[in-house]
Amino acid sequence: MNKTRLEAFSDGVLAIIITIMVLELKVPHEASFEALRQLLPVFISYIMSFVYIGIYWGNHHHLLHAVKQVNSRIMWSNMGLLFFLSLVPFSTAWMGVNHFAPLPVAVYGVNMVLAGLSYSILETAIRKHYPHSTALTEALKRQKKKEYISTVIYVTSIPCAFFYPLVSAMCFVVVSILWVIPDKHIEQALKEEV
Amino acid sequence: MNKTRLEAFSDGVLAIIITIMVLELKVPHEASFEALRQLLPVFISYIMSFVYIGIYWGNHHHLLHAVKQVNSRIMWSNMGLLFFLSLVPFSTAWMGVNHFAPLPVAVYGVNMVLAGLSYSILETAIRKHYPHSTALTEALKRQKKKEYISTVIYVTSIPCAFFYPLVSAMCFVVVSILWVIPDKHIEQALKEEV
Amino acid sequence: MNKTRLEAFSDGVLAIIITIMVLELKVPHEASFEALRQLLPVFISYIMSFVYIGIYWGNHHHLLHAVKQVNSRIMWSNMGLLFFLSLVPFSTAWMGVNHFAPLPVAVYGVNMVLAGLSYSILETAIRKHYPHSTALTEALKRQKKKEYISTVIYVTSIPCAFFYPLVSAMCFVVVSILWVIPDKHIEQALKEEV
Amino acid sequence: MNKTRLEAFSDGVLAIIITIMVLELKVPHEASFEALRQLLPVFISYIMSFVYIGIYWGNHHHLLHAVKQVNSRIMWSNMGLLFFLSLVPFSTAWMGVNHFAPLPVAVYGVNMVLAGLSYSILETAIRKHYPHSTALTEALKRQKKKEYISTVIYVTSIPCAFFYPLVSAMCFVVVSILWVIPDKHIEQALKEEV
């Protein structure tokens, strides 16, 4: 199995996930500022998850860069990642509709931890299949630190959500900013390869 | 007609099927554990069908591996398979929403039998067009046994659903586990080809 | 502009059109045969449109086979075709929900005529850009006859729908059968080219 | 990161955006002309946005033509563009459902300005990465004039919407016509390159 179809399928699923989230912005039947204002929490949660799916898409792309052939293990690890990401539209909308109430924020955190975990599993599956290290895989290893920090923040934000849900929501924003900042090492590694 | 667009179209349809199923997890307007608990049957049926579509996607990929040109017959067999898979979000949600009641479980079984049947038809159409056997087609032939067992379990689960619907649901899980376990022969055949 | 992205975009749109139609099969909250029976008209109209979109996808594929570069005119003719096909989920569901009532059946006919017309416009745009005739373009010319017959049947079915809507619906089925039957000439032309 | 996946992902998102808009054409449960007539404003706004997404897709294609490698900055500018375009189904439906009322028309204008702005940011990001000018980039520079005119019209249409919403809606139509007309320079530049 070559990786082209795995990428195409993953791109398709991620493109649909990122787009159907907007369907939760229910079109109000009044043309007032008030109607818009009520959508604000859903909108904010939408922006957050849009950025997250974007980050996962970018990282997924880097990760599969070195891959040529795909075995069963890689395929099913990838399906696991897509599964937890496919739950993001649900947990995003639940959090937004309930104005960042404790339980939905905690569930969003759980979703993020599980997505992160399944990403690590995919990473391990690929590394086992392609043990030869390149400039890119070296750069990816440095990303590990980012992954640990993110996981710690997520795991902390889950119990925190029951007391200060907005603090947990802020944690999610902090993690996303951490990832949007481009990684010099990866950019460099990709440049060298060209 | 070359196979690239057939694959791209099938990937697109499968990606959408697997993703729109999550829309049936209706976002509750309460932020309580109780609200989550009520979604549990829909969630369980979602996991089940997610795995099934994943299996079909993987098998579809293997099947089209040896194909280069696509004739009308292959194209329409493929459309038949996509049609029955496109009904999976409906039968999944119906089963989940009605908490695995007899009729929806039986209908889910019927859907699975028809999808399996249309997959066999596609397989036959491809084999007629590419009669020369390779390591991969040999490996695929061994999969036939799995297909027979699955069909027998599905067909049994349909009448069974009217008496013990949960037993039928367990049968579906058993079949999915049967297919998720990677097939040594196919992995081997693909490795040899590289 | 090369044709790869035009094909990818069209495949994406067609894959989504064919799949979101199933969302109109609203999941009933009862687990009874009666609930299923009430969905029958929507289901029948779904099958019909699934076949139509499949036919358009296949023809679109053949049509773009000879194309290498895409100009503005081809791009916008293609958008026109996609626009009228994007209305098919609406007219299909309206016809099904209203149990093949006169007006929705007529509107479905109008939708089909407009889709057919925009397909002809795309055909003309491509032929102007690629005037050199090949075995495939010769075969496509013979398809013209099929197109004329289809258009005549569609146009007739529109006024007919106000008196005998079921006769018009049968006409749609006849046209779809006409197109599913593989065209010997095209198959031949494609085979020669390989 | 090479551009293939960026294009595939963008095509997927744009294909879904253009298609899910039709879901806002809620299928009426009556089979009357009156029911159709009530959908007219939503339908008109759908046509408008369909054309806009088509224009963006075409321009996006031209813009990425010269690109070979994608850096973080280009990737995130592209995500920004996709984000604002993903809001188009919402603002389109809101405008249509409320029969082109002042506030929704103004919000649609704001959406268009932001989409245009994020497109310019993507353009700049690409130009910085590929400073060497070609026939195509020269042609794209001439498009700048069109972009300025569009932005001026959009920005004017926002306050105008609160007094004459239909005039603002007409402005949107004028801008779309401006862009559908093929650009001789770009066509020429693309032809020369072949």
CA-nearest residue to A74 within chain B is: B182
pLDDT of residue B155: 92
- Whether D23 and chain A come into contact, CB under 8 Å, resolves to yes
CA distance A76 to B90: 24
Global pTM reads 0.91
pLDDT of residue C119: 93
CA-nearest residue to D12 within chain A is: A15
pLDDT of residue D193: 59
Q: Per residue in C54-86, pLDDT tens? A: 999 988 888 887 777 788 888 899 999 999 999
* Stretch B119-126: mean pLDDT: 89
- Whether C72 and chain B come into contact, CB under 8 Å, resolves to no
Q: Which of B10, B86, B95, B110 is most worth mutating to test chain C (most C CB atoms within 10 A of its CB)? A: B86
- Whether C22 and chain B come into contact, CB under 8 Å, resolves to yes
- Whether C28 and chain B come into contact, CB under 8 Å, resolves to yes
Between C8, C89, C94, which is nearest D28 by CB? C94
Residue C22 to residue B94, Cβ atoms within 8 A: no
The sign of the torsion formed by the CA atoms of D110, D116, D119, D125 equals negative
CA B104 → CA B91, B167, C27, distances in Å?
A: 7, 13, 11
CA distance B50 to B89: 10
Token look-up 């149990």 returns C99
Residue B103 to residue C12, Cβ atoms within 8 A: no
CA-nearest residue to C104 within chain D is: D31
Q: Per residue in B178-194, pLDDT tens? A: 888 766 666 666 666 55
CA A6, chain centre distance (Å): 18
pLDDT of residue D71: 82
* Residues in Cβ contact with C22 at an 8 Å cutoff, skipping those fewer than 6 apart: B20, B86, B87, B89, B90, C46
- Whether B22 and chain C come into contact, CB under 8 Å, resolves to no
Compute the residue count for chain A. 194
CA B170, chain centre distance (Å): 16
Q: C137 or D87, which is more confident?
A: D87
pLDDT grade, residue B159 (50/70/90)?
A: very high
Measure in Å the smallest separation between the Cα of A17 and chain B Cα atoms. Answer: 7
Residue D31 to residue C98, Cβ atoms within 8 A: yes
- Whether B1 and chain A come into contact, CB under 8 Å, resolves to no
pLDDT grade, residue C187 (50/70/90)?
A: low
Residue B14 to residue A17, Cβ atoms within 8 A: no
Chain C positions in Cβ-Cβ contact with residue D27 (cut-off 8 Å): 24, 90, 93-94, 97
CA B52 → CA B92, B164, C14, distances in Å?
A: 11, 22, 23
* Stretch B123-146: mean pLDDT: 74
CA distance D125 to D75: 9
pLDDT of residue D91: 94
CA A118 → CA A87, B51, C190, distances in Å?
A: 13, 15, 45
Instruction: Report the candidate in D36, D64, A3, D102 with the shortest Cα–Cα distance to residue C103.
Output: D36
Between B22, B32, B187, which is nearest A89 by CB? B22
Residue C101 to residue D31, Cβ atoms within 8 A: yes
Residue A75's domain comprises 3-193
- Whether C81 and chain D come into contact, CB under 8 Å, resolves to no
* Residues in Cβ contact with A150 at an 8 Å cutoff, skipping those fewer than 6 apart: A116, A175, A178, A179
- The 10 Å Cβ neighbour count of residue D158 is 18
Measure in Å the smallest separation between the Cα of D144 and chain A Cα atoms. Answer: 28
Beta-strand runs (E) in chain A: none
CA distance D120 to B162: 61
pLDDT of residue B94: 94
Task: Bin C99: left if φ > 0, else alpha if -120 < ψ < 50, else beta.
Answer: left
Between C15, C36, C182, which is nearest B12 by CB? C15
pLDDT at B134 over 70: no
Tokens of B83: 């049609």
Contact D169, D105 (CB under 8 A): yes
Of all residues in chain B, the percent with pLDDT exceeding 90 is 51
If one counts the domains in chain B, the total is 1
Tokens of B163: 């008496």
Contact D164, D100 (CB under 8 A): no
CA-nearest residue to B25 within chain A is: A90
DSSP state at residue A29: S
CA-nearest residue to B86 within chain C is: C19
CA C28 → CA B2, B20, B25, B93, distances in Å?
A: 41, 17, 14, 9
CA-nearest residue to A99 within chain B is: B31
Task: Give pLDDT < 50 ranges for chain A.
Answer: none
Element (H, E) at D55: helix D33-65
pLDDT of residue D46: 94
- Whether D192 and chain C come into contact, CB under 8 Å, resolves to no
Instruction: Report the candidate in C24, C69, C29, C27 with the shortest Cα–Cα distance to residue C46.
Output: C24
CA-nearest residue to A136 within chain D is: D1
Provide ipTM, 2 decimals.
Answer: 0.88
pLDDT of residue C63: 83
As a whole number of Å, the CA-based R_g of chain D is 18
CA distance D101 to D105: 6
pLDDT of residue C186: 64
- Per-residue tens of pLDDT for chain D, all 194 residues: 678 888 889 999 999 999 989 988 899 988 889 999 999 999 999 999 999 999 999 888 888 877 777 888 888 999 999 999 999 999 999 999 999 999 999 999 999 999 999 999 998 888 887 776 666 666 667 778 888 888 999 999 999 999 999 999 999 998 888 888 766 666 666 666 55
- Residue/partner pairs of B144-147 with CB below 8 Å, 24 or more apart: B146/B178, B146/B179, B146/B183, B147/B116, B147/B119, B147/B120
Residue C31 to residue B98, Cβ atoms within 8 A: yes
Q: Which of A5, A7, A22 is most worth mutating to test chain D (most D CB atoms within 10 A of its CB)? A: A22
Backbone phi and psi for residue C69, each to the nearest 5 degrees, phi listed first: -110, 150
CA distance A170 to A153: 11
CA distance D4 to D6: 5
pLDDT at B177 over 80: yes
Element (H, E) at D88: helix D88-97
Residue C89 to residue D30, Cβ atoms within 8 A: no
Chain A positions in Cβ-Cβ contact with residue B17 (cut-off 8 Å): none
Between D28, D61, D187, which is nearest C5 by CB? D61
Residue B12 to residue C7, Cβ atoms within 8 A: no
CA distance D194 to D190: 7
Compute the residue count for chain B. 194
- Whether C27 and chain B come into contact, CB under 8 Å, resolves to yes
Chain C positions in Cβ-Cβ contact with residue B71 (cut-off 8 Å): 182, 187
- Whether A40 and chain D come into contact, CB under 8 Å, resolves to no
Between C18, C27, C58, which is nearest B75 by CB? C58
If you write DSSP's letter for every residue of C118-183 in order, what string do you get? HHHHHHHHHHHH--S--HHHHHHHHHHHHHHHHHHHHHHHHHHHTT-HHHHHHHHHHHHHHHHS--
Tokens of C125: 């745009």
CA C143 → CA B126, C63, C149, C184, C187, distances in Å?
A: 26, 11, 10, 11, 12
- Whether D57 and chain A come into contact, CB under 8 Å, resolves to no
Chain A positions in Cβ-Cβ contact with residue D103 (cut-off 8 Å): 31-33, 36
Residue type, D68: K
Between D12, D58, D183, which is nearest C12 by CB? D12
pLDDT of residue D187: 65
Contact A28, D96 (CB under 8 A): no
Residue A16 to residue B15, Cβ atoms within 8 A: yes
Q: Which of B9, B18, B19 is most worth mutating to test chain A (most A CB atoms within 10 A of its CB)? A: B19
- Whether B114 and chain C come into contact, CB under 8 Å, resolves to no
Measure in Å the smallest separation between the Cα of D55 and chain C Cα atoms. Answer: 9
Residue D13 to residue A12, Cβ atoms within 8 A: no
CA B9 → CA A9, C58, D53, D64, distances in Å?
A: 10, 11, 21, 23
- Whether B53 and chain A come into contact, CB under 8 Å, resolves to no
Q: Which of A19, A71, A83, A100 is most worth mutating to test chain B (most B CB atoms within 10 A of its CB)? A: A83
* Residues in Cβ contact with A44 at an 8 Å cutoff, skipping those fewer than 6 apart: A96
CA-nearest residue to A7 within chain D is: D5
Measure in Å the smallest separation between the Cα of C89 and chain B Cα atoms. Answer: 14
CA C1, chain centre distance (Å): 25
Measure in Å the smallest separation between the Cα of C7 and chain B Cα atoms. Answer: 8
Q: Which chains would you list as touching D if contact means 3+ CB atom pairs under 8 Å?
A: A, C
pLDDT at B136 over 80: no
